[in-house]
Structure 1
Amino acid sequence: MSCEHLICARCSGPVVEGRCPTCRNARAEMHRHGGPFSPTVILAVLVVLFFLALALQRIY
């Protein structure tokens, strides 16, 4: 989805123009690019590593 066709409910202008703070926030949120690893993925990897460490500890 892009902000090119969105209309702001506050100022009735195109969000892409960023006329008001609401438009600017919506535009920034639409174009925000996170890193390749979300916090959920990192947490899942840590949980898997924890259980792997527990399993290896029982073996040795």
Structure 2
Amino acid sequence: MTYDRLVCANCAAPVSQGRCPVCRANRERLQQQEGPFAGLNPVTLIALLVVLVGALALVARTA
């Protein structure tokens, strides 16, 4: 889950806006946990997976 959809229980604002100290702390914590694919949406990840499976099938067929 990305923090742009989270709502703070302290100030009832989106965490991505960082209006209160709790929002800012959680935003920083979530940003530190992001991996290399954190910025990609699920549709893009599925498309990459399909391309990878297709490439593997092509390599397996020619070998």
TM-score category, normalised to shorter length: 0.5 to 0.7
d(CA) in 2 for partners of 1:20, 1:4: 15
TM-score under structure 2 length normalisation: 0.50
Q: CA shift at 1:13, angstroms?
A: 0.2
Secondary structure of the corresponding residue to residue 4 of structure 1: helix
CA deviations over 1:20-59 (Å, ceiling 9, x no partner): 000000000000159xxxxxxxxxxxxxxxxxxxxxxxxx
After superposing on structure 2, the runs of 4+ consecutive aligned residues of structure 1 that deviate more than 6 Å are none
Q: CA RMSD for the aligned pairs? A: 1.6
Q: How does 1:1-60 map to 2 (within 5 A)?
A: 1-33=1-33
SS at match of 2:4: coil
One-letter amino acid of the counterpart of residue 3, structure 2: C
Structure 1: give runs of 5+ residues left out of the alignment.
35-60
TM-score by length of 1: 0.52
Aligned positions, number: 34
Identity of aligned residues (%): 41
